[in-house]
Amino acid sequence: MNQEHPENSAKQSTTEAGSGTAQSKRRKLIQTGLVGAPVLLALKSTPVLAANCKLPSGFSVSGNLSRNGTTACSPKLNGVGYWVTNATLEQKDRPFAPPNLIASTIDSNITTFGLALAKGDTNVHAKIVAAFLSAEAGSFLPLATVKDMWNLGVIGGAYPASAGDSWNAAEVEAYLDYILS
């Protein structure tokens, strides 16, 4: 306390008490913010691109943490079953050869999209044709990407999915399983 000027000392203690209230309010606000921060950080953001589907650069078969786990991508591309029923005769008669896709060295009997689709939804040929037709219909996956996944990944063995990461046939097929319905 100030001994020389008691009236100033009284004013100062009143001011300190008033600012102590403001200071305690600020302290409480900061504490509330700190308590609420983990809650805000725990909220899951939804990817904007591709309605929760990952393009090859953001997908990882090794469990990339940005992948939304076991949740299926939504909406998925039309799968093999859809294209078996809904592909036109013109689409089914397309050659499974350039300029569409490089002819298969896996099964030389598959010469058209229709023959590939007839193999069913467990066959990589059918899956790539379903992705190809879906891409042509305007899906989130570009047609050039689908062609490269087959030509470079399945046939060539090294599709460059992202910087420094290339996929073999099994990894391309895992991605197709993820994006096809």
pLDDT tier for residue 3 given thresholds of 50, 70 and 90: low
78 with 167, same domain: the answer is yes
Residue with tokens 């467990």: 122
Same domain membership, residue 58 and residue 9: no
Q: What confidence score (pLDDT) does residue 143 get?
A: 92
Would you say the pTM of this structure is higher than 0.85? no
Average pLDDT, the chain: 77
Asked if 143 and 132 count as a contact pair (C-beta separation under 8 A), the reply is yes
Q: What range defines the domain where residue 14 resides?
A: 1-43
In this structure, are residues 168 and 77 in contact, taking their beta carbons and an 8 Å threshold? no
The two beta strands, 159-162 and 165-167, are antiparallel
35 and 105 inside one domain:
no
Task: Give the pLDDT mean for 46-70.
Answer: 48
The verdict on 13 and 76 lying in the same domain is no
pLDDT at 44 over 80: no
Residue 7 sits at φ, ψ, to 5 deg, of -65, -35
Q: How many domains would you assign to the chain?
A: 2
Confidence class for position 55, pLDDT limits 50, 70, 90:
low
Whether 39 and 54 map to the same domain: the answer is: no
Q: Residues 90-148: pLDDT tens digits?
A: 999 999 998 999 988 889 899 999 999 999 989 999 999 999 999 999 888 899 999 99
How far is Cα of residue 161 from the mean position of the Cα atoms in its chain? 13
**Averaging pLDDT over each range in 62-71, 74-83, 87-96, which range is the top one?**
87-96
Residues 97 and 155 in one domain: yes
> Looking at the predicted structure, is the pLDDT value of residue 5 above 80?
no
* Beta bridge mates, 112: 95
Alpha-carbon gap, residue 171 to 93, rounded angstroms: 28
